[in-house]
Amino acid sequence: MARQKKGRDISGILVLNKPLGLTSNQALQKIKWLLGAKKAGHTGALDPMASGVLPLCFGDATKFSQILLDSTKGYITTCKLGEVRSTGDQDGEVVATSPIPSFDEFSIESILEKFRGVITQVPPMYSALKHEGRPLYELARKGIELDLKTLKQREVIIHSLKILEIRQDLGEIDLEVICSKGTYIRSLVEDIGHEVGCGAYVSMLHRIQAGPFTEPQAIDYQTLLDLEENYSDVAERHQVMDKMLLHAAEAIPEWPRIELTLHEGHKILHGQRVKTSFPLMAQVQLWVHAPDGVVFVGVGEITDNGTLIPKRVFQVSLPD
């Protein structure tokens, strides 16, 4: 018999402001313990040297982890000119240095224009992408080099790329990047440095957006740690943290909302299809009219013949 997981059956999303120095999984596991949650997952790792918005999903909300993984992300980063580093960020060894040519906002803007829209990227060797089942960073640490242009080249979308500040005396450029999933900011900064003519690396990276979640919604990690000291009663701490959780449906605010009868809701929760009069829609939120109010039961799609197909359903108890 499989051993049951310990913890509470809770559902929701906590938007964390991840600090520097922690992996995303370290932060997740600590907050999962503080919350006493049975099931948890994050929605796209931030490196230890990166900080910022990291939505954490608990319980049924983990069914939306992949949706958030695939969502648009936003970052503020500092491009440090004049050096190329092994990891593409400040933690790497210096592998090349070059004099920084004269530049100004106009010249940098003309370079950035090349990186807006659909671009082709080669991911860094120090990344979690896998080759023959092994993360690239493991191969890199062993000195194994691969032709990533052939093996891992990919197209990504840079929706927005803005100059925030230029510090010519320090050879630094602060940028705001809004991009598609799979975009490596380290690769973007390295490519910009190559165009400037002196190389570059990421000396600061802070995520400001992950899907619909933005920085003002994020809770500082230290605020959550302080709850352990401030609430010796675990049940009280759980009550406080439960109020910090956002409803899972907030991960998909733009999806159309479909309201079903109680009978239709029971069928959906049992994985059955429902005939509707709604038009073709690939992604819909499913809500059920119950005696105590409207209940979110999951997501689905509506085919061209009006059939509603459940895709992800929640562990919801509906009255008979």
d(CA 89, CA 143): 18
Taking alpha carbons only, the member of 177, 217, 168 closest to residue 196 is: 168
> Is the CB of residue 240 less than 8 Å from the CB of residue 266?
no
Count CB-CB contacts under 10 A for residue 135: 14
d(CA 162, CA 158): 11
Q: Clarify whether 174 is annotated catalytic.
A: no
* List 9, 47, 89, 292, catalytic entry: 47
| Catalytic residue annotation | 47
